[in-house]
Structure 1
Amino acid sequence: MTLETDIEAVREHAADTQALYREVCALMFFRYGETPTANRLYQLVRKGSMSAPAKALRDFWVEVREKTRVDVGRPDLPPDVAKAAGELAANLWRLSNDAATAALDVFRQDAQAEIAAARQQAQEMETQRNDASLKAEQAAAGAAALGQQIGGLEARLVELQTANDMLSGQLAASKNELAAGATALADARRDFAEELAKLRRAHEQNEQRLAAAEKRALLEIESERAVASRVRKELQTANDRIAALETEHRSERDALRDGLATAKAELSASTARCAVLGAQLSEKDALLAERIASTDQLRQRLETMSRRLETARSEPASARPVRRSRAKAEAPNRAPVDFSGGSFVKRAATPKR
């Protein structure tokens, strides 16, 4: 049994939390030889708050001290002697308890080591048993596979024997065919030798024709080289002529470009002079327009005065003295105007240039 199992058993019949913690303290200290602590108790029980295991632990140690205290109840002994005797008995009990606990620990360790060794041995035996079972299964499977292979090999042997018989017949037929083929090969070799002789003669004739054709080709190549040399010289001459023409064309183009630049400069100067003349002409046109306007005004005044004179001439004689007197009265205030008696001609406006 383990500590957790004992705690579960105690938990079933211990309803009070403090009693449960005290029982767990007793189990840990007396049965399993562990010193109980508050954290360890709370980890094992997981009940109540953190103060519950601390209080239960204090009560447990108080109870242990009370139980381990030895009281020598003899009235004839002095108190100091009784106390010393009690402490001696308590020390003896504590020492014996420690020795028993140490022996129990040694026994527990030995038992645990033996249990671990037994478990290890059991695991090894289980592993060996599993390996043996696996090997047995593999051997059975191998035997079955070998049986199948043997059956297959026997069937294959029968097939090979049948095929051997067939191949023997085919070999005999092949030997006969080989003999016929050898005869045909001898005939073919003889025919091939004759054809080879014919081909050699044809090859010699072809070589002769090829040599003659090569000579003709060399002659044609030489003539083509001469023609190419002549054409190359003519091409060089043409290139020289083209270069000279390009030089002349370039000089003419430069001269034309210079003339064009000069013409552009003259055109710019002429344009500037035309602009100045246009400005002067505009001023003269404005002055002429002013003079024409003043002339028109004078002409209108003259026409008005002419109409007045005509009116004055056409009036009766009785009215003339009055007008003359009025004219004489107005004469000192106006300047005299002389007319040539000719008709007035309106000048046409000079068009702007």
Structure 2
Amino acid sequence: MNTSTSDERMLLADIETLREQFTQTQDLYREVCAAMFFRYGMTPTANKLYQLVRKGSMSAPAEALNRFWQDLREKSRVKIEHPDLPEALKQATAAMAVSLWSTALEQSQESLSTYRAETAEQLIAANAAKEMAELEMQVMLKSQESLTSELTAAKASIQEREHEVTTLQVRNESLDIQLASSKSEIAQYQSRLQVATQEFTLELEKQRQTSLLAEERFRVAEKRALMEVDRERLQSGKLQKELDLVRSSMVQAQDSHQKEMLALQEQTGNLRQDVGSLQGQLFALTEIRDSTMKELLMERGRMETVQSMLITGKTEMEQLQKQLQQSREAIENLKVELANERASRENEKQMLLQNKHQMKEGDVD
């Protein structure tokens, strides 16, 4: 943005204000000519006036422009007519008045040009700061949208992980129940094995006692047989048969108890294998659960990091909004100062016109 563009924008704003103050076409063109010439140092032309105002026919701005130049020439011409003053003094006084008017007008134009340049530079800087703040705010908004999408994805992933953990916990609880049931069954089998072992031991002890008694009876009978060889030959055969039967029954009972013992030992081995398999499954599930918990903790850490980044982005966006508000306030202040300066220039112009009018009235007197 250069100074001419800024002047054109301010001129258009002034024209909109003049439209509300002057409803007559000629009056509006006259005021626009004065604003272009005195406020902005532009030379008004009929085409330029019509492009700016666009009111009436093409002859309206030409007529208003002719009247403006005619009024300006009349106002800039100083006539001093006094019967008591020499002609040379009249011309010198008129030349001095014209010189003073020209000097004041040039200084006013220079001061106004300087102020316009400073105001334009400040306005350019404020607009640049505003554009930069808006760009930064757009970047922050895009970053916020990206962080929001990442946070949503992280939350979805965490929910999936939590669902998996819940499923594994349910499976783990089910396996714990199965393991407890298996342990209970093992304890029952072990209890039954102990009872069977005790019963087998008692039965074996009974058989041993029976065998000892039979052997003792056999020894007694043998002694009797030796003492009564002749009388007890027939009875000794019977006793020998009984002894064989007792020994055979004892051997059969011992074999039966050994088979039962082997069967119980086989069942105990199978149960121990089942317990080992269940313990292995429980250990694998425990490792899976620990790994899942570690991944869940990592996902939660990532979510906390994303949330902190989002809070930082919001803080930076609020700062940018504050800077944008400050830039807007600075622009408003510049506009107020420009309006005050324009009012001051109008007052100076009115004072100059009044002084000129008073000088003409003094000359007439």
- Between structure 1 and structure 2, the one with the greater Rg is 1
How high is the TM-score relative to the length of structure 1?
0.41
Bigger RCO (CA 8 Å, 6+ sep): 2
Q: Which has more helix, going by share of residues?
A: 2
How high is the TM-score relative to the length of structure 2?
0.40
